[in-house]
Structure 1
Amino acid sequence: MVSKKLYYACDLVDNPKLIEQYKRYHSKENVWPEITKSIKDSGILDMEIYIISNRLFMIIEVDETFSSERKQKMDAENPKVQEWEKLMWEFQQALPIAKKGEKWLPMKQIFKL
């Protein structure tokens, strides 16, 4: 099995109470099981999200079946994922360079040792 890693960034609304609430939603015991299932079903093998201040950084490890387009289509057709995404928009805000409706933007590697 071939896997690769992809990297994304997103911002949160710069409000300490909302940031703490967002972190609670993402704790292992609070993430909706339908969300973790949809993530795995899309070909994502592993996912990590890091935070500093209100900036989020996500690393996903994907298998050969994963494509961003397929994941977007699957998410659009899943009512529970749509409910989750609507809820998360209460906490997230697009990066300044994002187009309308974009939040998690892919990052490009500029250095590797």
Structure 2
Amino acid sequence: MRYCLALDLRSDPALIAEYEQWHRDVWPEIKASILDGGIVQMEIYRLEDRLFMIMETGEGFSFEKKAAMDAANPAVRRWEELMWKFQVAIPGGRPGEKWRLMDKIFSLNK
């Protein structure tokens, strides 16, 4: 299954550069948690201060299961706390919600 999500960054070139640097050298524990959670591929793109994530997941993946795994993983909790320095929640989300799931509105190959 493919999911697309969006998130904003603080509009500060130095913080954006630092955020990108963290993502060029993601902690091994974070990569492992992504794979262990059933995500088989993930890409993040940036346009100015807007991020766009594409996730490909395997069978059995659920956001609820992944959130529970992350909550129980100290490395993921540290990473997420660190990333809040750079991130801004998109208006309209639930309190504490970071990445917001996007609705698919078009597909060339239905």
Q: Same fold (TM over 0.5)?
A: yes
The equivalent of 1:105 in structure 2 is: 100
Instruction: Tell me how far 1:112 sits from its aligned partner.
Output: 1.1
The equivalent of 2:89 in structure 1 is: 94
Instruction: Tell me how far 1:96 sits from its aligned partner.
Output: 1.2
Q: How does 1:1-113 map to 2 (within 5 A)?
A: 4-27=1-24, 30-113=25-108
After TM superposition, the score normalised by the length of structure 2 is 0.96
- CA–CA separation in structure 1 for the residues paired with 2:11 and 2:92: 17
- CA–CA separation in structure 2 for the residues paired with 1:66 and 1:9: 19
Secondary structure (helix, strand or coil) at the match of 2:79 reads helix
The number of residues matched between the two structures is 108
Instruction: Tell me how far 1:105 sits from its aligned partner.
Output: 0.4
Secondary structure (helix, strand or coil) at the match of 2:5 reads strand
| Structure 2 spans left out of the alignment, 5+ residues | none
AA of the residue aligned to 2:105: I
Secondary structure (helix, strand or coil) at the match of 1:14 reads coil
Instruction: Tell me how far 1:97 sits from its aligned partner.
Output: 1.4
| Structure 1 spans left out of the alignment, 5+ residues | none
Instruction: Tell me how far 1:65 sits from its aligned partner.
Output: 2.0
After TM superposition, the score normalised by the length of structure 1 is 0.94
Secondary structure (helix, strand or coil) at the match of 1:45 reads strand
Higher mean C-alpha deviation, range 95-104 or range 41-50 = 95-104
Contact 1:35 1:81 in 2 (8 A): yes
1:72-91 Cα distance to aligned partner (Å, 9 max, x none): 00000000000000000000
- CA–CA separation in structure 2 for the residues paired with 1:92 and 1:37: 22
1:46-103 Cα distance to aligned partner (Å, 9 max, x none): 0000000000000000001210000000000000000000000000010011121001
AA of the residue aligned to 2:81: K
